[in-house]
Amino acid sequence: MRKHLLAALALAVPTFAIPLVNQLGFAPESEKTVVIPGNDANPLEVRDMAGNTVLTLEAPMVYDWDYSGEEVQTYDISSIKKPGTYRLYRDGYIGNPVVIGENVYEDLTKAALKWFYFQRAGMALDTRYAGKWARAAGHIDDSVTVYGTDLPTATVVAQSKGKPAPKKADPKIIKSQRGWYDAGDYGKYIVNSGITVFTLLELYEHFPAFMDTLQWNIPREFPKMPALLEEIRWNLDWMLSMQDKDGGVYHKLTSLKFGSSTMPEIDGAKRYAIEKSLTATLDFAAVMAQASRVYAPFDKAFADRMLKASGAAYYWAKHNPKALYKQPSDVQTGDYTYGGEDGKDEFAFAATELFRATKKKNYLNDLSAYKIRSDGPWWGDVNMLAVYHVALDSADFGAKLGGAARKALLAAANELRAVGDTSAYRLPALPSSWNWGSNSAMANNGIVLLHAYYVTGDKSYLDGAQQCLDYLLGKNPIEMTYVTGFGYRSPRNPHHRVSESDFVDDPVPGMLVGGPHLGKQDINLDGKELWKCPNYAIADKPALAYIDNRCSYATNEVAINWNAPLAYLAGALQAIYVGHANAVVK
């Protein structure tokens, strides 16, 4: 079954079962597991590079994994703690070396964070910082039309509704510079920026001393500011430009349709700031309040500006609670909406961060009226982002709210860990995790488990987070890391317009691709084939439904909200295992 399916995915299939393991390695004190497909009864030997046997394990029970249709055996080699390189033997040498070391995730963390520099809009990437991936500036966005205020667009919309064209009026123009390209396309989206910026700011909030030690090569406009905060500010500046004078925030900045695979400077489609929305405004309010706290020691004026903008956004949202985004008929770019959306989780997210920043009781009162749940996190449900900080700062929020948040957090974490403890791959993944951006779901599952570790100190949650990272870095049925440029085998052809058109064979390192799932949105829609991704359509198991091909936007695209949890997960585990756990563990 396994050999047949992997061949169908056009992947190389070995003649023996290769051990599936985190290809970057492990910290000495971390949990370390190896998955070997099949049901071989031979023991597993671990030898050092001198050929000495350091551990022998008898064959464990055989488990079936429904997500791949495999039989596998899982070996725990956690007792090996001495840094070094090791080989695995089972009836002969098998697989790639296994590394144990102090700083195995530091380079990954830096690359995952530097990728945001490569996503910068409105800026030329110089060879001093971008190397062979240097490119010209595109999408300066210094003259962006507010959607519906220019005559051609207004006329099209009016005519589509059978109404007369409006009288000629000057279009409303704004400057909306900087920001990150959202994904493989050239749009900039407030909703997706919300969870992305939150996650990156949390990494700095939780591990400031560790993050201050990390440097990666980016241009420095604010040299006294930590590198991570310097990068995040590029996007915060853009987000601030998307706020209207009344406090409302435009949902996105895109062209009317997705552009083709061209370099940014060649893509000349007209760009629009499209409609103010409740969700965008509240996500904006939340991260601006959060950022005001983080940036205050480095730039108080900037922090004060963000807090003022946050308060204005929250005020607008309170007075426009029904202003959910509705995609105009002539706009085809991502809408970042979903069925049943009501904005309640965004209100909780914003109220949480504004209370943390101001300690004003009106925000606490609003949050107290919200029913805390154990759902999320993803851009469509930011409930868990509120849960994180209420649980961690329960003394500030009060016993009732703090207790509810802690209960919700541990309920989510316990469900994940129960699956991780008993499944074939030891992966804390739920059926809902196998969706578009499944790799992001795995990373966010790890972040849920890390927060449970912070509030309890229970290492089993830390082990669960490690298993999530292990999956992303090679302990998976595809036998590859899902991060470009890392591990023994990694994606080469991401769905990413710059990568598709820059004439550079190697993709930028540090990009997390979306990952496998059965949605196949890029294969079939209403029975009609959209793309011809070779052999990908026949995969019938979610953990195998992936192809490393630029045509597969459903499994091989990249996105800022996928890279942020990768950076957090890798960075947090690295920080904790080098001695920074006391920064967050209660």
Give the residue numbers annotated as catalytic, written as ranges: 495, 548, 557
Rounded Cα gap, residues 338 and 380, in angstroms: 7
Interior/surface letters 187-205, b for 16+ CB within 10 angstroms, e for the rest: bbbbbbbbbbbbbbbbbbb
Strand order in the sheet with 63-65: 33-37, 70-76, 63-65
The residues near 423 (Cβ < 8 Å, ≥ 6 apart) are 63, 65, 429
386 three-class SS? helix
Tokens linked to 220: 């420095």
Rounded Cα gap, residues 551 and 495, in angstroms: 6
Residue 55: what are its φ and ψ, rounded to 5°?
-160, 135
Selection from 529, 527, 533 nearest residue 495 by Cα = 533
CA 491 remoteness from chain centre:
17
Containing 95, the helix (H) or strand (E) segment is strand 93-100
- CB contact at 8 A, 490 and 484: yes
Environment class of residue 547 by beta-carbon count within 10 Å: exposed (0-12), middle (13-18) or buried (19+)?
buried
Rounded Cα gap, residues 251 and 578, in angstroms: 40
Residue 357 CB neighbour total at 10 angstroms: 23
Check residue 179 and report its DSSP letter.
-
Tokens linked to 472: 């992303």
Tokens linked to 230: 């310097």
What's at 499, amino acid-wise? Answer: S
Rounded Cα gap, residues 520 and 532, in angstroms: 12
